Amino acid sequence: MAETTSIFPALPGSEQVICSLFEGDYHFGLAALINSLVRNGFSGLLWIGYRGDLPSWISQLAQREDGLFQVENALLGFEKVTGTRHFGQYKPEFLSSVIDRGIARKHIWYIDPDITIRCEWNFYERWVRYGVCLCQDFAMSAMSSRHPFRCEWADMARAAGWGEPVQQQERYYNSGFLGLDVAHVVFLQKWIAAVRLANSNGVAPGDFQKRRRPQLFSTIDQDTMNIATMYSAVPLSTMGPEAMGFEGNGFTMFHAVSKPKAWRRKFISSALRGIPPSYPEKHFLECAKGPIQPFSRSRLARLRLGAGIAILMTRFYRKG
């Protein structure tokens, strides 16, 4: 079981809290996420769980007497997470603990550190008034209420004494983002229960992707979150795959799900294989400069130059 150690033990709490979890070099993505948030007017508390070391870029930020870091009009705090449970499985537990400790007093969001925000934060504050905010996935975006996976999940839940699903779902949602009113914490509690249900059916706490489909649990955080949508009697307010930039006409965010991540990608090498920089990667490079600068000027310049050359190269040749 994961545990957290806050380096800010006595917080008064905030009405608007955004959470994320990172380890290793995902701090580059976290920096771009934070830059994108403050650029678009977020002024609440950013509460970050991490393993390993704190990012070196926090030395760029002013630290207040209470230990929080100032990032323009937002505040930034960290707490260390111990244990071996994969962060994908730990998301609902982390969010629930932030609510239970009074750190989030009104609204709470979770955003993966490979996401950047594209529109004014005011939109998200309006959105969360209508229920748990979710975005449809792209790989399995439509999952009917009688999909065999849902039927098997329901059989598993019945065997555990859960009874019948309380909501019929026709879509499958991505777990990289969600938002909710703290009054809807039951959604997180049911997600935690779904994670434990998966654990009791062969999913190890350290697993992220158990195996490819047709395994009943493939991407653990998403499958268990989608079980929670079936068994939580709370309103959901959902958007399609465009919300994460998986399809055109989106305006809310970019979710860079491809690998390698933008901060690791060799853009020119990828272009030689016919793979151009994606919109999420280009937006990441835009957001890598701001109040937090995770790269040196020379490294960021090289990344942007490589992406620019790759864009020109792939005008003439693309994979497929």
Cis-peptide into 165, omega within 30 deg: no
Distance (Å, rounded) from C-alpha 51 to C-alpha 276? 32
Let me know: does 118 contact 254? Beta carbons within 8 Å. yes
* Residue extents of the structural domains in the chain: 3-244, 258-313
Residue the block writes with tokens 């793979």: 275
Position 10 scores a pLDDT of 54
Q: What is the average pLDDT across 215-239?
A: 95
Q: Give tens-digit pLDDT for 113-163.
A: 999 999 999 999 999 999 999 999 998 889 999 999 999 999 999 999 999
Using pLDDT thresholds of 50, 70 and 90, give the confidence band for residue 185: very high
Residue 193 has pLDDT above 90, yes or no: yes
Residue 8 has pLDDT above 70, yes or no: no
Using pLDDT thresholds of 50, 70 and 90, give the confidence band for residue 13: confident
Beta bridge partners of 108: 17, 180
Distance (Å, rounded) from C-alpha 291 to C-alpha 272? 34
pTM above threshold 0.85? yes
Residue 7 has pLDDT above 80, yes or no: no
Q: Give tens-digit pLDDT for 92-108.
A: 999 999 999 999 999 99
Residue the block writes with tokens 């771009």: 32
Residue 189 has pLDDT above 70, yes or no: yes
Using pLDDT thresholds of 50, 70 and 90, give the confidence band for residue 211: low
The CATH class, in words, for 3-244 is alpha beta
Position 139 scores a pLDDT of 84
